[in-house]
Amino acid sequence: MERGIIPRETGGLIAGAIEGMEADFSYPDSIPPSVEDLYFVYERELGHRIGPENAAFLHTARSRNDMDNTIFRMALRQTMLDFTEASLGVLDSLMTRAKAGTTELTILYTHGQPANVSTMGHYLSAFAGELANDLSDFMAALDVVNLSTMGACAITGTGFPLDRTRVASLLGFPSFVVNTYEAISSTHWLTRPAAALEELLQDITRLMADMSHKASCEVGLLTFPDTLVQISSIMPQKRNPVILEHIRIQAGLAAGTCLSIRNLCRNAAYQDINEASDAPVTELLGAFRLATSAMALLRDVLENVDGNDSMVRSMAATFGVTTTELADTMVRETGIGFRSAHEISSRYVRSGNDVAELRQAFQEHAGKPLPFDDNRLATILEPGYFVEIRTLAGGPAEAGMQPVFASLDERAGALRSKQALISENLESARIALGQAWREILQ
């Protein structure tokens, strides 16, 4: 009507009938045999109210191709914004817990074996970095989704003088897919969010697998409150951290759906196809529901997990976890090479932490006595000292963690600002569309 394609009185007639249908029309439980789909159910009802010819003007310069695709994008956009909000909440909780754990000792593993003493702050902030990366990719996928396809019509646009920018703006899109064939044929708006979500969920399942290992009785580095564990119906001693399994299950199921959607588009013709239509969109929205539930459970885990200091110290002594620092100190303070220091420390661990064997090994390799008394050795091998000396940027010492937290705060702030900007644009569009609609009705 604004572009002079249909008369103002016809536009007002259609708008009034649409308002009436909003108030009292109910869709049938199934599609009647005489029509192809729900769109034609709608148009036929509109025709009953204002006459078929007047109702037909609603479809001028529009196709189910561009209409469906734009509606799918709008639904997916809102779902992605909601998921982003939930994920940013998890990131906030993760960072809060990490900052509270800067002196809370834990042990990090490599290849399933105890490797280095660290802190819960160091451990959890590492995953916060992964999550921030995932959310950056996710927001980039949202940029692909957040484009209007209206005006593309079937595939080649139309000879009518549409204003694609105006339509995009009223629907809350910052712009539109310019090439009309790309607008209808592309599957990126579906596969990019699926890929970004799948990657994020994969990272979550890896963290859950690691936490499950650390929470096992044999390891015992992590503990959870009674609200997050399940007892056995028959075994009194059991405290099963099943919340970790539920997160893995929900994340795994959702990730599987994402992979299926991506595979669905393999070898599919580059044209308008049902592989990028309502069925896969419905499946992807279902994956987001599962993923959102997994994120809620993850937030509960991150806010309530505790470390076990006594177990850290016991494992450090039993498995020689701090002997990396013993070797480093020998290099720094005695002048021997690291390979010799490594062999000396390894012999000490193999001997069952026999200090006499340590001194003998040093004498053999260095040709001189080890210049550390027992008290100094105890200090070097103390788990807290292992952390304290690692002040390099990104290391677990408090000084090392400062740039980590500064970077995470900056990245989280940028993500939240972008999410807020999109949400604010949608609200502005809603107000503008409402005003434009009221003017039609006048």
What is the tens place of the pLDDT at every residue in 70-85? 999 999 999 999 999 9
Tokens of 16: 């009034």
User: Low-confidence residues of the chain, pLDDT below 70?
Assistant: none
Alpha carbon distance 298, 90 (integer Å): 7
Residues 6+ apart with CB under 8 A from 152: 63, 65, 66, 69, 177, 180, 181, 183, 184
Do the Cβ atoms of 302 and 94 come closer than 8 Å?
Answer: yes
- AA letter at 397: A
Residue 210: what pLDDT? 97
Alpha carbon distance 290, 278 (integer Å): 19
Do the Cβ atoms of 340 and 326 come closer than 8 Å?
Answer: no
Residues 6+ apart with CB under 8 A from 218: none
Tokens of 66: 């561009």
Residue 236: what pLDDT? 80
User: How many residues would you count in the chain?
Assistant: 442
Residue 234: what pLDDT? 84
Residue 239: what pLDDT? 86
Alpha carbon distance 287, 297 (integer Å): 16
Domain ranges of the chain: 8-59, 64-93+120-213+224-310+416-441, 323-381
Residue 235: what pLDDT? 85
Residue 146: what pLDDT? 98
The whole-angstrom distance between residue 422's C-alpha and the CA centroid of its chain comes to 18
Q: Please, what's the b/e burial string for 402-418 (b: 16 or more CB within 10 A of its CB; e: otherwise)?
A: eebbebbeebbeebbeb
Interhelix angle 120-145/64-100, rounded to 10 degrees, is 170
Strand partners, 253: none
Do the Cβ atoms of 103 and 383 come closer than 8 Å?
Answer: no
Residue 432: what pLDDT? 98
**Which CATH topology does 64-93+120-213+224-310+416-441 take?**
Fumarase C; Chain A, domain 2 (1.20.200)
Phi-psi region of 104 (alpha: psi -120 to 50; beta: other; left: phi over 0): beta
Do the Cβ atoms of 260 and 283 come closer than 8 Å?
Answer: yes
Residue 355: what pLDDT? 96
Sign, Cα dihedral of 138, 139, 140, 143:
positive
pTM, full prediction: 0.94
Residue 225: what pLDDT? 92
Do the Cβ atoms of 440 and 11 come closer than 8 Å?
Answer: yes
The helix or strand, by DSSP H or E, that contains position 311, with its residue range, turns out to be helix 309-319
Residue 34: what pLDDT? 86
Tokens of 19: 């308002």
Tokens of 240: 């099963």
Strands (E), 120-247: 222-223
Angle at alpha carbon of residue 302, lines to 296 and 304, rounded to 5°: 105
Strand pairing report for 113-119 and 222-223:
unpaired
- AA letter at 213: H
Residue 18: what pLDDT? 97
Residue 229: what pLDDT? 87
